[in-house]
Amino acid sequence: MADAWATPLERVEFESASQRLLSGGLIRGDRIQGDLAKPDGAGPFPAVIGLHGCAGMHDTTKQRLAVELVARGYVVLLVDSYATRGIDHACTSSAFVTFLLRRPDAYAALVFLAGQTFVDPQRVAVVGFSAGA
């Protein structure tokens, strides 16, 4: 199990994408946090964006994803759509509103990764779990 914790996760912050309303208005994006891990070296590396389900993502799951994907040569950005919004979980009947707020987070993660010199912006994938899918 010691090797499973060998890949460090760095906490990063970026702005979620703004959303245009049908009425013409604009909703500015929230500040979003995520956990970033990368292989050793300068890159550029392909990347994977991970989006959690309604209950968030457990630390053990984050670490296992980072270990598995970094070992295969991927940069990993695990988006935390809840921390800066003050949400513990959204597994309730009112979760649809939270889902709409989170939708632009994947695009913002792509923009964030594309701005990193160690990421190949032409090779970015997204994986989601449960409500993050």
Contacts of 87 (CB under 8 A, 6+ apart): 81, 98
Boundaries of domain holding 75: 2-132
| Structural domain count of the chain | 1
* Sheet with 31-37, side-by-side order of all strands: 10-15, 31-37, 75-80, 45-51, 119-128
pLDDT digits (tens, 9 = 90+) for 4-58: 445 688 888 877 766 565 566 656 667 888 999 999 999 899 999 998 877 778 8
Which CATH number covers residue 94? 3.40.50.1820
Across 38-47, 55-64, 67-76, 117-126, least confident range: 55-64
